[in-house]
Amino acid sequence: MSSVSQVPNDAGRFGKFGGRYMPETLARALDELTDEYSKARQDEDFRETLAELYHQYVGRPSPLYHAERLSKQVGGAQIYLKREDLNHTGAHKINNTLGQALLTLRMGKPRVIAETGAGQHGVATATACARFGFECVIYMGEEDIRRQRPNVFSMKLLGAEVRPVTTGSRTLRDAVNEAFRDWMSSVDSTHYCLGSVVGPHPFPQIVRDFQSVIGRETREQSIEQLGRLPDLIVACVGGGSNAAGMFYPFIEDESVELMGVEAGGRSSNLGDHAAPLCFGEPGILHGSFSYVMQDEDGQTADVHSISAGLDYPGTGPEHSFWKDVGRVSYTQAQDAEVLEAFDRLAKTEGILPALESSHAVARAIDMAAKRTPDEIVVVCLSGRGDKDAAEIALLRGEEF
Partner 1 sequence: MSAIDTLFQNLRSENRKAFMPFVTAGDPDLDFTAAVLRHLAERGSSMFELGIPYSDPVADGPVIQASFSRALDKKIRLEKIFDMVSTVTPDVSAPIVSMLSYSIVYRRGLENYVKAAKAAGIAGAIVPDLPADESGELAEICRREDFSLVQLITPTTTPDRARQIADQTTGFIYYVSVTGITGERTELPPEIVDNVSWLREQTELPICIGFGISRPEHIRMLSPVADGLIVGSAIVRRIAEANSKPRQEVLDDVGNYVTELLSAL
DSSP string computed for 284-324: EETTEEEEE-B-TTSPBPP---SSGGG--SB--HHHHHHHH
Q: Is 267 a catalytic residue?
A: no
> Which 75-94 positions form the footprint of partner 1 (CB under 8 A)?
none
Query: Contact at 8 Å (CB) between 315 and 279?
Result: no
Of the candidate spans 57-65, 176-184, 214-222, 334-342, the one that interacts with partner 1 by CB under 8 A turns out to be 176-184
Strands 17-18 vs 13-14: parallel, antiparallel or unpaired: antiparallel
Which residue in 93, 109, 323, 387 is the catalytic one?
A: 93
Of the candidate spans 141-149, 240-248, 288-296, 329-337, the one that interacts with partner 1 by CB under 8 A turns out to be 288-296
* Site mask for partner 1 (CB under 8 A), range 38-57, x = bound: --------------------
Q: Is 398 a catalytic residue?
A: no
254 binds partner 1 (CB under 8 A): no
Q: Residue 36 and residue 38: Cα distance in Å, rounded?
A: 6
Residues 6+ apart with CB under 8 A from 301: 270, 271, 293, 294, 295, 313
Q: Which of 178, 177, 305 is nearest to 237 (CA)?
A: 305
Nearer to partner 1, 1 or 11 (CB): 11
187 binds partner 1 (CB under 8 A): yes
Distance in Å, CB of 137 to partner 1, minimum: 16
Query: How many residues are listed for the chain in this entry?
Result: 400
Of the candidate spans 147-155, 165-173, 253-261, 327-335, the one that interacts with partner 1 by CB under 8 A turns out to be 165-173
Query: Contact at 8 Å (CB) between 330 and 236?
Result: no
Distance in Å, CB of 140 to partner 1, minimum: 17
* Site mask for partner 1 (CB under 8 A), range 295-334, x = bound: -xxxxx----------------------------------
Sheet containing 190-192, strands listed edge to edge, beginning at the edge strand earlier in sequence: 161-165, 135-141, 111-116, 190-192
Q: Is 156 a catalytic residue?
A: no
Q: What is the DSSP letter of 230?
A: -
- Catalytic residue ranges: 93, 115, 382
Residues near partner 1, by CB under 8 A = 11, 19-29, 167-168, 173, 177, 180-181, 184-185, 187-188, 283-287, 289, 294, 296-300
